[in-house]
Amino acid sequence: MNSESELLNLALNGDRRSLAKILTRIESGFEPTVSVQNPWTLGVTGPPGAGKSTLIGALISKWLKRGEKIAVLAVDPSSPKSGGALLADRIRMQGTESSDSIYIRSIASRNHPGGLSLFIGHMINVLSASGWSRIIIETVGSGQSQTRIVAFADRILLVEGPDRGDIIQAEKAGILELADIVTVNKSDLPNSKLAYNSLNSSLSLNQNNSISTHLVSALNGDGIDDLFSSIEKCPKSTQREIIRQKERLLSLWDSRLLNYHGLNQLLEQLSTGSITLDEAVDMIQ
């Protein structure tokens, strides 16, 4: 078996098998030291079936034309076994053959009760140092842990289907606060225009005018050019950066607690009343 540093060197020199192995080691706790400058990351989130993977496939075709190398981390794809393959199929369907320039990896969060946050940053760094110039993180936009993962990306695209109820849910869950760009997908279906208008009016009510909104069809390509240029030009928002950093901090904080070796003992002591909550917090390193 290769040592981690050998694997890391091979991965950094472009060997995909070693890259896969090193990402697996990261999932088991390996913390690589790599120097990277500003990885380019995009979080794509939204309700199940909104068309996130199809949309990523459409964006990938455009990045490929610009000579970019695209890596996708698909967190909890609907079917953990086929999720990554599903995206690969979608990309193939669009006639993109440059498989050397695409890397797709599925991650199942259920394998990590302490959360993914401890290693998602390391994965991004290794991918970036290995020459992947566009790193996409796809998560289903439901639940706090998924929102927190997407906060590890520097720009966030929220994808909604033509169902206005989903948009209201996203607003409630605080995902709209994190998003730089919101797109209503499936513009080829009825109601999508209504959903788009309702999104714009709720955003203007919140006076949150810095979010750019789009109406697209990942299926027939309508609106994709505009969406693509919005993503590429996406300005850094200080306000959202603060919210994202807060989410990152909270998820590391939680992970540290959940991975604390004396957690069970601490919980027992709390349950019998032999220590107080304040004392418990002070005991966690």
Ligand X SMILES: Nc1nc2c(ncn2[C@@H]2O[C@H](COP(=O)(O)OP(=O)(O)OP(=O)(O)O)[C@@H](O)[C@H]2O)c(=O)[nH]1
Residues that bind ligand X (CB under 6 A): 46, 48-54, 77-78, 140, 185-186, 188-189, 217-219
Residue 243's binding partner out of Mg ion, ligand X, none, with CB under 5 to 8 Å set by partner kind = none
- Can you tell me whether residue 9 is helix, strand or coil? helix
Residue 192's binding partner out of ligand X, Mg ion, none, with CB under 5 to 8 Å set by partner kind = none
Residue 219's binding partner out of ligand X, Mg ion, none, with CB under 5 to 8 Å set by partner kind = ligand X
Residue 217's binding partner out of ligand X, Mg ion, none, with CB under 5 to 8 Å set by partner kind = ligand X
Cα(first)–Cα(last) distance of the chain, in Å? 34
Closest CA to 58 of 215, 184, 224, 188: 224
Q: How far apart are CA 149 and CA 145, in angstroms?
A: 6
- Can you tell me whether residue 75 is helix, strand or coil? strand
Using CB positions, name the residue nearest to Mg ion. Answer: 53
CB nearer ligand X, residue 39 or residue 46: 46
What is the closest distance, in whole angstroms, from the C-beta atom of residue 75 to ligand X in the complex? 10
Residue 162's binding partner out of ligand X, Mg ion, none, with CB under 5 to 8 Å set by partner kind = none
Cβ–Cβ under 8 Å, residues 103 and 16 = yes
Cβ–Cβ under 8 Å, residues 44 and 66 = no
Stretch that binds Mg ion, among 33-41, 49-57, 93-101, 260-268 (CB under 5 A): 49-57
Q: How far apart are CA 182 and CA 188, in angstroms?
A: 17
Q: Determine, following the binding rule CB under 5 A, whether residue 53 of this chain makes contact with Mg ion.
A: yes
What is the closest distance, in whole angstroms, from the C-beta atom of residue 98 to ligand X in the complex? 20
Both tokens assigned to 138: 């796809």
What is the closest distance, in whole angstroms, from the C-beta atom of residue 176 to ligand X in the complex? 17
CB nearer ligand X, residue 140 or residue 181: 140
Count CB neighbours of 2 within 10 A. Answer: 12
Provide CB contacts within 8 A for 1, sequence distance 6+.
Answer: none
What is the closest distance, in whole angstroms, from the C-beta atom of residue 279 to Mg ion in the complex? 44
Q: How far apart are CA 137 and CA 44, in angstroms?
A: 6
Helix (H) or strand (E) holding 239: helix 238-258
3-state helix, strand, coil in the chain (%, to 5): 50, 15, 35
- Can you tell me whether residue 117 is helix, strand or coil? helix
CB nearer ligand X, residue 118 or residue 157: 157
Q: Determine, following the binding rule CB under 5 A, whether residue 217 of this chain makes contact with Mg ion.
A: no
What is the closest distance, in whole angstroms, from the C-beta atom of residue 222 to Mg ion in the complex? 20
CB nearer ligand X, residue 23 or residue 215: 215
What is the closest distance, in whole angstroms, from the C-beta atom of residue 218 to Mg ion in the complex? 11
CB nearer ligand X, residue 80 or residue 114: 80
Residue 51's binding partner out of Mg ion, ligand X, none, with CB under 5 to 8 Å set by partner kind = ligand X
Using CB positions, name the residue nearest to ligand X. Answer: 51
Strand residue runs (E) in the chain: 41-46, 70-75, 102-107, 134-140, 155-160, 181-184, 212-215
Residue 50's binding partner out of Mg ion, ligand X, none, with CB under 5 to 8 Å set by partner kind = ligand X
- Point out which residues bind Mg ion (CB under 5 A): 52-53
